[in-house]
Structures are given as C-alpha cells and as structure tokens.
C-alpha cells in the first residue's frame, strides 16, 4: 500500500508524502542500508565481494511484506530481526553469514529513518518555496494596503496588509531556517554496532561507516547516537516550528474570514461546504492546518521524553519514536501543502480592510494624538484628555476628532489642518515599509538553500 489508507489518514497525509513515509519505503530504506553496509565491507575486504554484491542486489528483489515484519516485531520489539532473517532466507548459503555483519537493529532503523526524513524534507521544502513566494508577492503588492492591527482581538493601530503578510513570511522563514540547518547538518547515519563501539569490525568500523554514509547520501557523525536522541528531538522540534508558523498564519486567515470581518477568504470552489447549511464556504485549508497543529502538540513531547534513553540503548524510548516521527513528517507536509493552496487561492478584500479600519471612528489614531498632545500638555494631562474623548466617542458614536475639537486645550494645540493630519492612518505607519523590506530580504537569503533542498542538490 503506497497511499494513505483508512477513514481519517488521507486528510493528514498528502498523495505526494504517502509513498515517502509508507511502511514499504521504510522497509526499502532498511534494506538499502544493509546493502550499503555489505558494499562498504566488500570494498574494504571485510566480507567476500560476491556476498556483498548478492546482499546489495536485494534492494530491488527482496519483496518483504511490511505488515508481516511488523507482526513478527511483537516478539522482539523491533522489525529488524525479522527483516534480517527474511533477507538471509533470500541469500545463498555462502552469502548468508555476511548479512548485517557488525551492525545492530538500531543502526538499521535509525539510518532508515534519516533516509526517509531526507526525502520527506525535500517535499516539505518544495511546499515552503511556494508559500514563501506567495507571501513575498503579497507583502510587496499590499505594502500600502491599509488595515487595522488587532491586539487582544481589539482594534489597536493602523497597519498594512503587506506588513501582516511580511510577518507571516518572517515566521515561516524563521521556522524553515531551523529545519534547513537540520537538513544540512544533522541528517546522519547511526552506526555503532551492538554497544556503540563497532567492536565486531575491529579497526575498520569508522572507515566502513564513512563509506556507508556516502552510499546512502547521509553524513557520518562524530560518534554513534543510539543513546543520544537529541537528533530525533531536533527533527521533531524543527518540524513543529514549521507547523506552528503555518498554523499562526492559517488562524489569522480564518479569523479574517469571519462574516463580520470579511477581509480574507479562500476562492469559491476551494473552501468546503456544510452538510446542513448550503450557503457556507468553510476555510478548509486553515481548518486542516489547525488540526495538524493540535496533533503536533501531543506528538512533540513524546520525542523529548525519549531523550532519557537509558545507558547504551533505551528500553522503550526508541520504539516510541517511530510512528511519532512519521506522523510529524506527514502533518508538516500536509500543513505546508494546504497553506500553499490557501495562499494561491486567497481572496483579499482591500475595501473591507479599509472599512474595518474606519469602524473605530478614528480611535485607532489615539496613540498618535497622545504623543503629539503630550508635547503640549505633558503626558498625564494629555492621556486623561484623549482617553475621556475616546470614551465619549464610543458613547456618542461620534469620531475622536469631533470630540477632541470640542476641547479648548486641543484647539489651542493644533490648527485645523494639523488636527486633520493627525487622523490620516496612512501617515502613521512608522517603520512598516522597512520591516516589509527586511522580511523580503531575509526570504531572498533563504531561497537558494531551500531550492537546493527541494531539488536534492548539494549545499
């Protein structure tokens, strides 16, 4: 089975990711490790070259059933024992003694996990490229589109939609940089043998390990990490940062899509419907991303708990990682794919953004008025005056400008033209343009590395 199966799984596993994180691919990567190990040992004269070739050939002919291996794993708490036996059964008598020579179960499965993760990260970065490109375009195009900034769900100050998109972009880039670092620096084989010393290979262990790493396309670490699970926790943490940054953006989009707000929505035909309400177009993309984020919150602690692995091999921590990592890879890819789709089909209502900015009747400019008036009256007196005027504005459903111009202290402080200028939101955006530029520049810095990952190129 190469795709996601079951009632719920397909919603959380994309068609592109399903074969990468499938049981078949995990088994395939384990077999490829065994083949790389034999090849390296054959080249170094540690095992017969004919046996090495026969073992390596199993990568295309093994036909092992993942479910059968999983069932047999119940007896040993690892599928590798059944895998090695199954591969041995497919070898000649002369080659059979050399399969899995000098390795241990954790070497096989940990390295396979890194190989699967590498393929998965390439797909994830492909989606992140699309997301970054969309956000950069939105940020640049809407750098002067006025809207209200909301703090604690309340209207706060004027901002622009371009700056909002730039903040989303900055979050995605920051999370992606962490995942990119993992890709280039931490995708390493695990190779330590039974106790982490590679004693069975004598003085050749490190040389074998380096060759295996080169064959499978991973790095060779300074020492085995079978009982140091920070690498797995780092992978999980980096994936979770990506999910979190996408969930933050998706939640903002969903909030902006409420009928009472109406600033953003998914294009008709992209959003989902209701089984009971024909008129509804639900924000399906953000909903799925939020669901992935909620699942992530339960998965990540498992990996951090596994860092306790006792002595030279944890008694239970290692098996707890397998499905957890697979689930995190799947939901990260799904979050990225759905976010990319949402941004590609995002409907932006600039008119509604401007209307909402005007809803507070000028009260969003109170900070500016306070700052300027403080120079005339002092901070305390100016604060009291502006706050009382804002309260009257809310009570009377009038504008802040109208209430302030009733006050002699305000009229004495500003001319009529100066007073009007205080309430122009587009002249009170501070460093918004600089911040947008900074986000766009950082994206341009990240872009080449992400593109190399997505295209499986060397750094």
Enzyme catalytic residues: 274, 313
Distance CA 334, CA 141 (A): 27
In angstroms, how far apart are the furthest CA atoms of the chain? 103
- Each residue of 181-196: b (16+ CB within 10 Å) or e? ebbeebbbbbbbbbeb
Yes or no: say if 134 and 404 are a contact pair by the CB < 8 Å rule: no
Q: What is the dihedral of CA 7, 11, 14, 15, to 10 degrees?
A: 40
Q: What is the 3-state secondary structure (H, E, C) of the chain?
A: CCCCCCCCHHHHCCCCCCCCCCHHHHHHHHHHHHHHHHHHHHHCCCCCHHHHHHHHHHHHCCCCCHHHHHHHHHHCCCCHHHHHHHHHHCCCCCCHHHCCCCCCHHHHHHHHHHHHHHHHHHHHHHHHHHHHHHHHHHHHHCCCCEEEEEECCEEEEEEEHHHHHHHHHHHHHHHHHHHHHHHHHCCECCCCCCCCCCHHHHHHHHHHHHHHHHHHCCECCCCCCCCCCHHHHHHHHHHHHHHHHHHHHHHHHHHHCCCCCCCEEECCCCCECCCCCCCCCECHHHHHHHHHHHHHHHHHHHHHHHHHCCCCCCCCHHHHHHHHHHHHHHHHHHHHHHHHHHHHCEEECHHHHHHHHHCCCCHHHHHHHHHHHHHHHCHHHHHHHHHHHHHHHHHHCCCHHHHHHCCHHHHHHCCHHHHHHCCCHHHCCCCHHHHHHHHHHHHHHHHHHHHHHHCCCCC
- Which long-range contacts (C-beta less than 8 Å, at least 24 apart) are formed by 384-387? 385/409, 385/410
- Yes or no: say if 272 and 284 are a contact pair by the CB < 8 Å rule: yes
Cα separation of 232 and 217, whole Å? Answer: 18
Q: How far is residue 182's CA from residue 189's CA, in Å, rounded to a whole number? A: 13
């Amino acid at each position: 089975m190469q795709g996601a199966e079951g009632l719920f799984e397909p919603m959380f596993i994309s068609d592109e990711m399903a074969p990468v994180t499938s049981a078949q691919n995990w088994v395939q990567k384990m077999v490829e490790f065994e083949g790389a190990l034999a090849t390296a040992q054959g080249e170094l004269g540690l095992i017969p070259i004919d046996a090495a070739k026969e073992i390596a050939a199993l990568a295309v002919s093994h036909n092992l059933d993942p479910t059968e291996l999983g069932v047999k794993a119940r007896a040993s708490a690892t599928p590798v024992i059944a895998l090695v036996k199954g591969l041995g059964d497919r070898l000649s008598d002369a080659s059979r003694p050399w399969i899995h020579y000098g390795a241990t179960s954790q070497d096989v499965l940990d390295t396979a996990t890194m190989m699967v993760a590498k393929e998965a990260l390439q797909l994830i970065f492909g989606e992140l490229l699309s997301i970054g490109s969309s956000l950069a375009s939105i940020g640049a195009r809407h750098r002067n589109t006025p809207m209200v900034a909301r703090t604690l769900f309340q209207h706060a100050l004027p901002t622009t939609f371009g700056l909002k998109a730039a903040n989303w972009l900055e979050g995605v880039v920051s999370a992606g940089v962490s995942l990119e670092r993992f890709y280039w620096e931490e995708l390493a084989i695990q190779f330590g043998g039974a106790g982490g010393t590679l004693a069975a290979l004598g003085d050749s262990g490190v040389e074998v390990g380096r060759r295996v790493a080169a064959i499978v396309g991973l790095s060779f670490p300074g020492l085995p990490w079978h009982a140091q699970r920070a690498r797995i926790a780092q992978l999980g943490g980096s994936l979770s940062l990506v999910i979190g940054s996408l969930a933050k953006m998706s939640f903002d989009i969903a909030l902006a899509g409420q009928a009472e707000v109406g600033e953003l929505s998914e294009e008709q035909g992209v959003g989902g419907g209701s089984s009971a309400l024909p008129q509804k177009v639900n924000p399906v993309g953000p909903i799925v991303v939020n669901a992935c984020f909620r699942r992530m919150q339960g998965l990540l602690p498992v990996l951090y708990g596994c860092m306790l692995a006792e002595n030279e091999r944890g008694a239970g921590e290692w098996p707890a990682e397998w499905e957890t990592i697979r689930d995190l890879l799947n939901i990260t890819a799904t979050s990225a794919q759905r976010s990319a789709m949402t941004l590609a089909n995002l409907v932006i209502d600039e008119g509604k953004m401007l209307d909402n900015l005007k809803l507070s009747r000028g009260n969003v400019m109170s900070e500016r008025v306070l700052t300027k008036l403080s120079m005339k009256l002092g901070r305390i007196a100016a604060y009291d005056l502006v706050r009382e005027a804002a309260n009257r504005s809310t009570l009377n459903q009038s504008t802040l400008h109208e209430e302030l111009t009733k006050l002699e202290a305000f009229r004495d402080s500003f001319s009529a033209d100066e007073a009007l200028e205080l309430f122009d939101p587009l002249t009170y955006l501070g460093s918004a343009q600089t911040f947008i530029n900074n986000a766009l520049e950082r994206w341009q810095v990240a872009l080449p590395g992400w593109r190399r990952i997505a295209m499986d190129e060397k750094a």
